[in-house]
Structure 1
Amino acid sequence: MYIIIIGGGKVGYYLTEHLLKAGNEVVVIEKNPKKVQIIINELGGVAIQGDGSDAGPMLEAGMNRADIVVAATGDDEDNLIICQMAKKKFNVKRTIARINNPKNEHIFSVLGIDSTVSYVDALVAQIEREIPAHSLIHLLTLRDVGAAFIEKQVPEDSPVIGIPMNELSIPQQFLIALVIREGQAIIPKGTTKLLGGDEVVAVTTLEQEDLLERLFRGELIRRQ
């Protein structure tokens, strides 16, 4: 099966690795030259540098013969455009889109995208497997009462780096649910320290979606 993946970040990389091991023909389109080189060095010559939402790289990758196109970038709008182009311009039979904001899932469905994968849903499912059942709150149900799931990367120069969680002034309505570091999931504890480049998944109310950015700016560090 010939599969084209748009987006060579962590999600795209590990998906490519898995599909290649399963015996599929895979090509990745990624605009960042450093990520392209990493993929080529570690997985072979399966990466093309370019904007995956442009027709040029799509033609170079041979999208007109692709069985499946996977839009795995970190931008929902780009993923929607990629899937629509794949279906309408190149007649790809099956498109799969990564959704970074679960609230966009209905839009993708209405606009004819065959399948969607919510990155947040997958992470929450992992959290639910890790937390003992007696203390488990099913986070997916929180959307019905106005919860927001946010995923952001810790900047390399963030003041919060190296500070234990229990030394942060985190409001009760804000939960750091998961930290992804070098491809490994970490369920944070009070002694957990964030590092530059960590992917942080937080759950909060819709009204306080900016709390994660404030945390990374150092505004929630407890002052002595």
Structure 2
Amino acid sequence: MRVAIAGAGNVGRSIARELIANGHQVLLIEKDRSAIHRGAVPGAMWLEADACELSSLEEAELDRYDVAIAATGDDKANLVHSLLAKTEFGVPRTVGRVNHPGNEWMFDDQWGVDVSVSTPRLMSALVGEAVSTGDLVRLLTFTKSTTHLSEIRLPIGSRFIGRRIRDIELPGDAVLVALIRDGAPLPPERDRAFEASDELLFLVTQDSEPELAELFDPEGDAVED
């Protein structure tokens, strides 16, 4: 997969290294010459240019890329880059970094953003995930829908421990997509039994989220088997 990343700061470089490690081709676009450290991202292509300028993106041949990631520290630049990538170059998938929570509402399909990643919201969610057990924590919101990626960690003594996935009736539109056990991801096979401290990852709509939280509420011991 070919991925173009606007912004070669710490965030952009970290994303690039991860993508390259997974076999993808990466182009880093950075207008600040002092921020270009080619040796910091072995295997990446670099372009010293303004990612918000049409001529720069034409030089980058952005229309040949599968994904455009706007990862600068400037929300205005991220919005402009995403809009150009989507409307002028037809990039199939765009991802926009949100730096300031007050701007999050703008990162939608009207600005060409398919997926927005809010750094403050993600940090808050990760803090919640780190300190909470038994509570449903929202990790990620998808821009074009009301679907969220949410996580819950089963506490010791949970009534779900030992029960198989097939025996649990999830509410509404909730879908169990993976388990994390001892740091390793596991597929949600129907015959797999839950264990204490399992981290459960769900795709769930906003409407079904309260029901899912209630189902796994540690205080809800009266739930039917």
Q: TM-score range by the shorter chain?
A: 0.5 to 0.7
* Cα deviation, residue 70, structure 1: 0.5
TM-score normalized by structure 1?
A: 0.55
Query: Comparing both structures, which one devotes a greater share of its residues to helix?
Result: 1
1:126 corresponds in structure 2 to: 126
Given that 1:3 and 1:68 are in contact with CA atoms closer than 8 Å, whether structure 2 keeps it comes out as yes
2:38 corresponds in structure 1 to: 39
1:7 corresponds in structure 2 to: 7
**What SS is found at the alignment partner of 2:8?**
coil
* Cα deviation, residue 18, structure 1: 0.2
The verdict on how the C-alpha distance between 1:2 and 1:45 changes in structure 2, with shifts beyond 3 A counting, is: closer
1:98 corresponds in structure 2 to: 97
Q: How many residues align?
A: 137
- Identical columns (%): 32
* Cα deviation, residue 123, structure 1: 1.3
**What SS is found at the alignment partner of 1:43?**
coil
For 1:29 and 1:45, the matched residues in 2 are separated by 10
**What SS is found at the alignment partner of 1:104?**
helix
* Cα deviation, residue 128, structure 1: 2.1
1:72 alignment partner AA: A
1:59 corresponds in structure 2 to: 58
1:76 alignment partner AA: D
For 1:24 and 1:35, the matched residues in 2 are separated by 22
1:122 alignment partner AA: L
The verdict on how the C-alpha distance between 1:32 and 1:26 changes in structure 2, with shifts beyond 3 A counting, is: same
For 2:78 and 2:38, the matched residues in 1 are separated by 20
* Cα deviation, residue 50, structure 1: 1.2
* Cα deviation, residue 47, structure 1: 1.4
Given that 2:3 and 2:67 are in contact with CA atoms closer than 8 Å, whether structure 1 keeps it comes out as yes
Given that 2:20 and 2:44 are in contact with CA atoms closer than 8 Å, whether structure 1 keeps it comes out as no
* Cα deviation, residue 61, structure 1: 1.9
* Cα deviation, residue 45, structure 1: 4.8
2:77 corresponds in structure 1 to: 78
2:210 corresponds in structure 1 to: none
TM-score normalized by structure 2?
A: 0.55
For 1:73 and 1:24, the matched residues in 2 are separated by 20
Whether 1:48 aligns to 2:44 is no
1:201 corresponds in structure 2 to: none
**What SS is found at the alignment partner of 2:4?**
strand
**What SS is found at the alignment partner of 1:91?**
coil
2:221 corresponds in structure 1 to: none
* 1:1-224 correspondence to structure 2 within 5 Å: 1-36=1-36, 38-109=37-108, 111=110, 112-131=112-131
For 1:124 and 1:41, the matched residues in 2 are separated by 28
**What SS is found at the alignment partner of 2:35?**
helix
**What SS is found at the alignment partner of 2:72?**
coil
* Cα deviation, residue 125, structure 1: 2.2
Can you give the 5+ residue segments of structure 1 that lack an aligned partner in the other structure? 141-224
Given that 1:29 and 1:51 are in contact with CA atoms closer than 8 Å, whether structure 2 keeps it comes out as yes
* Cα deviation, residue 139, structure 1: 11
**What SS is found at the alignment partner of 1:92?**
coil
**What SS is found at the alignment partner of 1:122?**
helix
* Cα deviation, residue 82, structure 1: 0.5
* Cα deviation, residue 110, structure 1: 5.4
* Cα deviation, residue 57, structure 1: 2.4
Can you give the 5+ residue segments of structure 2 that lack an aligned partner in the other structure? 140-225
